[in-house]
Each structure stands twice: as C-alpha cells, then as structure tokens.
Structure 1
Amino acid sequence: MRRYSWLTIIIILVVIMVFGIAVWRGFPPFKMHTSDFPGLLHTIEVQPQKIEVKIYKSERKLVLYGDGEPIGIFKMALGFVPLGDKEREGDGKTPEGRFVICYINNNTPYVYFYGLSYPNIKDAERGLKQGLISQKEYQQIVAASQLGSIPLWSTSLGGEVGIHGGGNWMDWTKGCVAVSDTDILTLKDYLKIGTSVEIFP
C-alpha cells in the first residue's frame, strides 16, 4: 500500500511538473496573450512583401511589421542582465542595434532559433578599440556584416544571439530574445534569412 502511495505521488508530481513547464514555455495551447501582447493583430491573408522586427527591451515587446505596418505584438524575455548593451561573452546582456537574421535552426530545445548578425560592424569597432578582438577578427566580422552572413560567434564579444522560444515570463537567457513556444511557431511563418531586426534599449 505504501509503495502504491509513493508511486501515485511521484506520478502526480511528474504530471504537475510537465504541466508547469508547458505553461511556463507557453506551449500550445497555452497562448497567454493579453491586450498589451495580443500576438498577431489580425488574420494575415496575403503574406507581406517586407517583414521587419523591432524589439523594445524596456517594454519587453517584440513588434512584427509587414510592409511598414505592425501586424503582431509579442511579449518577450531578455538576457539575465537586461539593462545595457551587450559588450562581451557571458555578460548576460541582449545586444542593441540593427541586425539581420543570418541563421535558422529548427533542431533546438527552444523550438526554433533565429540567429542574429551580432556582433555587427559597430560592435567590432568597439571590440577592436577595447582589445577584445584582433584586427583579423575585426575584418572577418565586418565582411560578414556587409554580406548579411553569420559573423564570428566565438570571440570575446560573444555570439549566437537570436530569437527563440522557451518562455517569456522572466529574463532568463544568456543574451537572446525569448518568446513563448506558441509565439515562435507563429513568427516562423514570417522570419526569414535577411529579415531586419532592430533592438532598442
């Protein structure tokens, strides 16, 4: 009887844990949308020609634009040190500035990962002045930025910053922008290689 009771307790705890993770991550059908963060603003019948993303860190808001008009507003989380621009690997900050999506990974624990072209030329110039990167690394980052390709992600400036799922309830990433799993599944229909992403303080 005691063994059965312990087994029942363990099963209940596992179910609660799985349910809690699903709610935390916003896994479908846990959309958790509000009036401030409604997701898509309306049904999109015709795919916009030009997609842009603007991220407002202080408001924890990701706005999806189609042909210059906002078509979606999503709640998002930042790096575990949310204030300030990213400066180096491991600082927990989310970068600020203009980037493009340069890499897409659909085989990730966070459902989808849209890698950003961080560090960009501005970051490379700062890194060179501060002695964080070499002249060769600087030139490689500049060349990648001009082509919209993946920059060096292995320098002291850090890298592999992107937009991904995993949950948006608190600032928990190493510097990425995290939305709910439901929202990243929505955004995947719009985010492509070359999509412009601007991140504001």
Structure 2
Amino acid sequence: MWLGTRLGKITRLAVLAPFTLVVLSLHALSADNPPLPSSAIADKVLVLKGERKLLLMKGNDVLKTYTVSLGGNPVGSKIREGDHKTPEGVYVLDRHNAYSLYHRSIHISYPNADDVARARRLGVPTGGDLYIHGLPNDYEGPTQQLGDWTEGCIAVTNAEIEEIWRVVADGTPIEIKP
C-alpha cells in the first residue's frame, strides 16, 4: 500500500513538474523582461541564430532580447528557395506588414547582392519573402515558442512582434549571425 501511494505521488509529480516549470519560467521571464518604454527606438536588430536570440539594439546597448524560432533547417546560411534556412548576413527591415498571415510582420530585405551572386553561381533560385513575424493567424495552440518551424523567417510570439513592430522603423539594419 505504501509503495503504491508513493508511486502515485511520484507519478503525479512527474506529470505536473513540466507544467509547473513552464509556468514558473514564464513568470520569471515576464519579471526579468519588462516591456520597453513607449519612447524606445531600436537602431539595429541583431539575430544570433545559434542562440535563438533577437536583440534590439540602440548604439552598443541591448534594449531587449527575445527568444526566436527559425527556419526548420536552421544550421548554415540560406542558399536557395525551399531550404528552410534563415539567411545570414546584413539586411534591412524595409517594410511593416499589418496584413500578414502571421499576426504582424516586418520584411527582411533578403536576398542581398551576395545571396543573389551565390544563387546564380549555383544555378538555384534565391527565394525571398522573409520576415520577422508572430504566430500564424489561424494558430489556436499555446502562445509560447514552437521550436524551429518557419520556412526561413524569424518568429516570435504575437506580444513580442507587437513590441518589436513599435520600436523598429522601416530602414533599420538587421544582422543575422550564425
């Protein structure tokens, strides 16, 4: 009897532990990552693919850091259309899209001249139409990150894209590093 009761408690703890960790992690994240002030303006976006981080920069200062989802095949630079890779290099966030299929989105100016030249040498299409964006408009699951799932875009939560949308103007440079 004691062993059965003890195993029942252990089973309940094993089942509840992941949910508890998620709740505590989200609480800790929100406490450590308060919203940016309404006056905040980023002058650069830095993406560290290997760390799955997007940093909003003002000069040399980090305004805020976000965890991101990348293309479903994230290691290495984007070579061609359909490779599910997020590009690496220097681009510009050139337009905001309020009518996105992914809550809101900000367009990345991929491909740049180097990307076009590489694709031409390889005889493959570069692809394009890459964005920083939120979750799909028809998504009804949890609001947290989903792992690497995009076609090559950089995805954040809907609340995070709202904040990024507000503090990043058209023409802001974005550097995407491995």
Which TM-score band applies after superposition, normalised by the shorter structure?
A: 0.7 to 0.9
Counterparts of 2:65 and 2:105, CA distance in 1: 19
Match of 1:179 among 139, 151, 156: 156
1:115 aligns with 2:104: no
Which amino acid in structure 1 is aligned with residue 120 of structure 2? L
Q: CA deviation at 1:36?
A: 11
Which amino acid in structure 1 is aligned with residue 40 of structure 2? Q
Counterparts of 2:36 and 2:162, CA distance in 1: 15
Q: CA deviation at 1:169?
A: 2.6
Aligned to 1:66: 58
Could you list the structure 1 runs, at least 4 aligned residues long, displaced by more than 2 angstroms after superposition. 31-40, 42-48
Which amino acid in structure 1 is aligned with residue 159 of structure 2? T
Match of 1:93 among 85, 88, 96: 85
Aligned to 2:134: 165
Aligned to 2:95: 103
TM-score, length of structure 2 as denominator length: 0.74
Aligned to 1:75: 67
**Residues 1:33 and 1:129: Cα distance change in structure 2 (over 3 Å):** farther
Counterparts of 1:163 and 1:33, CA distance in 2: 25
**Residues 1:107 and 1:44: Cα distance change in structure 2 (over 3 Å):** same
**Residues 1:165 and 1:127: Cα distance change in structure 2 (over 3 Å):** same
Q: CA deviation at 1:37?
A: 10
Aligned to 1:194: 171
State percent identity of aligned pairs.
34
Aligned to 2:20: none
Provide the alpha-carbon RMSD of the alignment. 2.3
SS state at 1:188 partner: helix
Aligned length: 146
- Could you tell me whether the CA contact under 8 Å between 1:37 and 1:74 is conserved in 2? no
Counterparts of 2:72 and 2:31, CA distance in 1: 21
Mind listing any 5+ residue stretches in structure 2 that lack a counterpart? 1-24, 136-143
